[in-house]
Amino acid sequence: MTTDLSTHPLVQHYLTILRDRSTQASEFRRCSKCITEVIMVEAAKQLSLDLMQVQTPLEIADGARLSPGVVFVPILRAGLGMLDPAMGVIPGSSVGYIGMERDEATAEAKCYYAKMPDFRASTQVFVLDPMLATGGSAAQCVEQIKAKGAKNVNMVCITAAPEGIAAFEEAHPDVSILAGKIDRELNDQKYILPGLGDFGDRLFNT
């Protein structure tokens, strides 16, 4: 199942700035942070709570806190732009890292680095990648995560192509996708249209 947040006013606002080719790196990073926070607030609806009581200045009140066990796995390098704001929304989370590099000739992804926490105690895993294009990197990442024991996995991205969503859902029908916007299509070079260019290059000004 894919959730598209494109009707959210803040998603529309920040995505427009990200798309603009004149947006400089510092502003690009700021808007990446802001749009990730909006998307993660929506993603957090899936989290479980531990009920508790707290002493207010006046009396005891019923309350709740997030259950532990949330893990973020950003796909390097672009996913790093989503990590800090995601952890700001859901503090106390663990982090795993996976590096996926796309072969520009074949558009196929290869893993070059993986460092994961123990997923046996995890309650929810969020894979972070700003752009779901062909779906190959994300599918390989989730495959590795599942192999290490992760049960509840969600894919979180800023933009996604219909082709990438279809490929990812075929590989992992049990994993939900949360996207800021579903874009139109991929071009012949497998880049998202209208897209926003190379997210990693624009994020890190390279």
Active site residues: 102, 106, 198, 201
- Rounded CA gap, 78 and 75, in Å? 7
Q: Position of tokens 């790196």?
A: 25
CA of residue 131 relative to chain centroid, distance: 9
Residue among 73, 69, 204 nearest 138 (CA): 73
Q: Spell out the residues 6+ positions from residue 192 whose beta carbon is closer than 8 angstroms to its own.
A: 131, 133, 159, 160, 161, 164, 183, 185, 186
Nearest to 88 by CA among 37, 26, 123, 152: 37
What does the alpha-carbon distance between residue 31 and residue 25 come to, in Å, rounded to a whole number?
10
